[in-house]
Amino acid sequence: MKLAVSILVTDYDEEETIARINETTADYLHVDVTDGSFVSQRTPQRDFLHTSKKPLNVHLMVSRPFDYISMFKELQAESITIQAELEDDLNSLLDYIHELGMKCGLALCPKTSVSAVEEYANKLDEVLILSVTPGVGGQKMIESTLDKIEELENLREKEGYQFKIFVDGGVNGETIGKIRGADAVIVGSFICKSEDYQAQIDKLGL
């Protein structure tokens, strides 16, 4: 199982947080982006993402993702995930991400069913299960959302899709054992609100 470290909640400034993540065995730097519209919170200006030695795994929790996609292309992001609940033309957005040479994904809010991604599954590289309410770090995991892992596994196997399954929200040393079948987890405050990032990563036992 791969690990993406989220910088949404941290005890350090962005520059030092990324520098600390660079020195760990994490696979990705996870970047949450909120606009104060899709969710009530708004993330601050990101000034040091270019210093990451880890590939950027970007999650856009925004109402108008098109406005952000080219910016992250310039930062050489590996992947961009948008929300399945958007009313935009998701096919066009996913195609645009691919046209720019990045992987694309769809994220499912806790109350959104797996059926929301079925129409797009043949072009997805990632499906992100949000196991907390999006936009706020440090929440307790909604364990019922983990049922979606098996549903997505079954869909992938039945239809021969290639997407990877990510889980984000409330992942820590205790809840990691409840996550079965996912390809990657996104972990934030459990790592970034500690002094020793690698020690916290080691506790996950990935």
**pLDDT tens readout for residues 173-183:** 999 999 999 99
Which residues are bridge partners to 93 per DSSP?
Answer: none
Residue of 46, 47, 36, 54 whose CA lies nearest to 136: 36
Q: What pLDDT shows up at residue 137?
A: 67
Helix (H) or strand (E) holding 56: strand 56-61
Using 70 as the pLDDT threshold, list the residues of the chain that sit under it: 40, 135-137
**Catalytically annotated residues:** 32, 168
List b or e across 4-15, with b for residues whose CB sees 16 or more CB atoms inside 10 angstroms. Answer: bbbbbbbeeebe
Q: What pLDDT shows up at residue 67?
A: 85
Q: What pLDDT shows up at residue 139?
A: 80
Residue of 34, 157, 46, 179 whose CA lies nearest to 107: 34
Q: What pLDDT shows up at residue 44?
A: 80
Q: What pLDDT shows up at residue 83?
A: 97
Supply the range of the domain harboring residue 152: 2-204
Number of domains the chain is built from: 1
pTM: 0.95
Q: What pLDDT shows up at residue 45?
A: 82
Q: What pLDDT shows up at residue 135?
A: 65
Quick: pLDDT tens for 66-96.
Answer: 989 999 999 999 999 999 999 889 999 999 9
Residue 29, domain CATH: 3.20.20.70
Q: Are 34 and 41 contacting, i.e. CB atoms less than 8 angstroms apart?
A: yes
